[in-house]
């Protein structure tokens, strides 16, 4: 059973975005599973790659939508996306140097990102994207 359960209230109402957010939620649970079992107390290369791939595809898709709807808060969103990417790249750099990031720290970061960015910031643009997509 997953530690963090997906709730319908997490949906922003855009099928593709919600699917991508659920994928992020799976990474959050994966990180928690590793932490709670004590099997791996540091961040794995595999998890870093998953997070990098997620960020690249997800943020690219969101920013594509922002361009098409003329979203007024695009700059703030891009800045937050950049912070997430930098954090993941920092994790990768630390791993390469042998300074393994503690899984607890990463778990807290991922949880906080989900709660603040996805549940607050992404819900702001959802009505504009839904309107745009309905006209296609």
Please report, in tens digits, the pLDDT of each residue of the chain (136 residues total). 567 788 999 999 999 999 999 998 888 888 777 767 665 566 677 888 888 899 999 999 999 999 999 999 999 999 999 998 988 888 778 777 766 666 677 778 878 888 889 889 999 999 999 999 898 8
Quick one: which of 19, 34, 8 has its CA closest to 105?
A: 34
Class at the top of the CATH hierarchy for domain 15-134? mainly alpha
Within a 10 A sphere around the Cβ of 61, how many other Cβ atoms?
14
Q: How far apart are CA 19 and CA 23, in angstroms?
A: 6
Q: How far apart are CA 112 and CA 104, in angstroms?
A: 12
Asked if residues 88 and 55 have their Cβ atoms less than 8 Å apart, the reply is yes
Q: How far apart are CA 57 and CA 7, in angstroms?
A: 23
- The residue behind tokens 């997430």 is 84
């Amino acid at each position: 059973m997953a530690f963090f359960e997906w709730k319908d209230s997490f949906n922003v109402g855009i099928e593709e975005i919600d699917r991508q957010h659920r994928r992020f939620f799976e990474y959050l649970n994966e990180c928690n599973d590793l932490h709670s079992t004590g099997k791996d107390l540091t961040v794995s290369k595999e998890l870093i790659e998953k997070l990098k791939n997620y960020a690249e595809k997800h943020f690219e898709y969101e920013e594509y939508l922002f361009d098409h709807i003329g979203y007024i808060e695009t700059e703030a969103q891009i800045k937050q996306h950049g912070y997430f990417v930098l954090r993941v790249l920092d994790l990768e750099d630390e791993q390469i140097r042998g300074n393994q990031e503690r899984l607890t720290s990463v778990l807290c970061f991922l949880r906080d990102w989900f709660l603040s960015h996805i549940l607050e910031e992404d819900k702001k643009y959802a009505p504009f994207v839904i309107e745009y997509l309905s006209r296609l």
